[in-house]
Structure 1
Amino acid sequence: MIDPKKLKQLAHQVQESLPQGIRHLGDDVEKKIRQVLQNQFARMDLVSREEFDMQTQMLLHTREKLNQLELRLNSLESVIKHDKDIRTET
């Protein structure tokens, strides 16, 4: 969810960038801009920075676990291959 303070700040920046005649319409313009921005951001299905960082940490942990499992699998495969080689020699 978008922080309401940031949304208000963004709406204010958009209002300030409008031509002088429209800008003087006041709070109604800023409220309408804020409403349009809020609706558009809601459609975008955005995630918060906190959620993004949490997912990034989870991904890094998962990748680390996968690397450990791959090493373990390679080790087990080596043991099996070695055992097979020994059996065929005898």
Structure 2
Amino acid sequence: MFDPKALDDLASRLAGAIPPGLSNLKEDLEKSFHAILQGALGKLDLVTREEFEVQKAVLAKTRSKLEDLEKRVAAMEAQILDKADL
């Protein structure tokens, strides 16, 4: 789902933004940030890039089929109108 290394890096950068006077709390805050971020991201119901790409391909294929069907329906409608004019 979410790259653990990126999560660690983000938690570390957040902890790095702590004012120098609170540097003794840095390690505890980094762990807290990590837990909070992991919990929040877990609730987002995200998909992996691979799952996204698969769905993107399915959508493209479906869109192509829909366009073909629209053309066929338009041709059938034109054929019906031509017969009605005779």
TM-score tier by shorter-chain length is 0.7 to 0.9
Give the corresponding residue for 1:16: 16
After superposition, the C-alpha distances for 1:21-67 in whole angstroms (9 at most, x for unaligned) are 33432432211111000111112222222222222222222111111
**Match for residue 82 of structure 2?**
82
Instruction: State the SS of the aligned residue for 2:25.
Output: coil
TM-score, normalised to structure 2, is 0.82
Q: Distance in 2 between matches of 1:23 and 1:68?
A: 64
The aligned length equals: 86
Measured on the aligned residues, the alpha-carbon RMSD in Å equals: 1.7
Moved more, 2-11 or 39-48: 39-48
| Structure-2 change in CA distance of 1:64 and 1:41 (3 Å) | same
1:7 deviation in Å?
Answer: 0.9
Q: Which runs of 5+ in 1 are unaligned?
A: none
The percent identity for this pair of structures is 40
Distance in 2 of aligned mates of 1:52 and 1:19: 40
Runs (5+) with no aligned partner, structure 2:
none
**Matched letter for residue 13 of structure 2:** Q
Structure 1 stretches of 4+ moved >6 Å: none
Q: TM-score, normalised by structure 1?
A: 0.79
Query: If you compute each CA radius of gyration, which structure gives the higher value, 1 or 2?
Result: 1
